[in-house]
Copies of this chain bind each other. A is one copy, B any other.
């Protein structure tokens, strides 16, 4: 009889005691800043979450600032991420580190990109939070690698892949995901308009693609971890 009571009590507890939600922070640049807007990728992840009735398990927070490069994340991470005690941080950075080389002469050298990226990971790890890394999706959507910064963006994506491997971290390889999608859907080899509005920032399809891919990994990682 005691066992039966204990079981019933447990069931009751699940409903009565407020479950601690997994706090997920998206840490990045303008793409992430736009992600919390209606139609943005974070908003869409929230919708996916609700559609699967998991809204009690997750809480999503955007921490994206326009123009940010890897060292900008490092500078503000205490205030914008660590202090919020996340369970999971998705780091989605790298476009400006490459892009600004051409647009303003203020990109990031590859060795320093790796150094700051690793420093960010170390600080998050030290808090006990999980981490997911992302490669920068695109600066131009042409599929024959003739977008003018494709070479550099591929290089920095390789760096992030290496960092993920070395740190044994989950990677959402948006660079690859976007290319695969464009190879199927961008038959005319256009430089924008398939997943981005302007070669960089996400349109509705882009936000939906990113949301789906991230959501998959978020669920898996936090399921494993509990």
Contacts and interface: CB of A to CB of B under 8 A. Distances in A.
Interface of A: 71-72, 74-75, 100-102, 104-109, 112, 115-116, 119, 140, 144-155, 157-158
Contact of A148 (B140, B146, B152, B157): B152
Contacts of A157: 146
A151 B119 CA distance: 30
A152 B155 contact: no
Interface centre among A104, A109, A151 (most CB of B within 10 A): A151
Q: How many copies does the complex hold?
A: 4
Contacts of A158: 144, 146
Contacts of A146: 151, 154-155, 157-158
Contacts of A151: 140, 145-153
A137 to B, nearest CB: 15
A163 B136 CA distance: 33
Contacts of A144: 154, 158
Contacts of A145: 145, 150-151, 154
A152 B149 contact: yes
Nearest to A97: B106
A158 B112 CA distance: 26
A104 B99 CA distance: 12
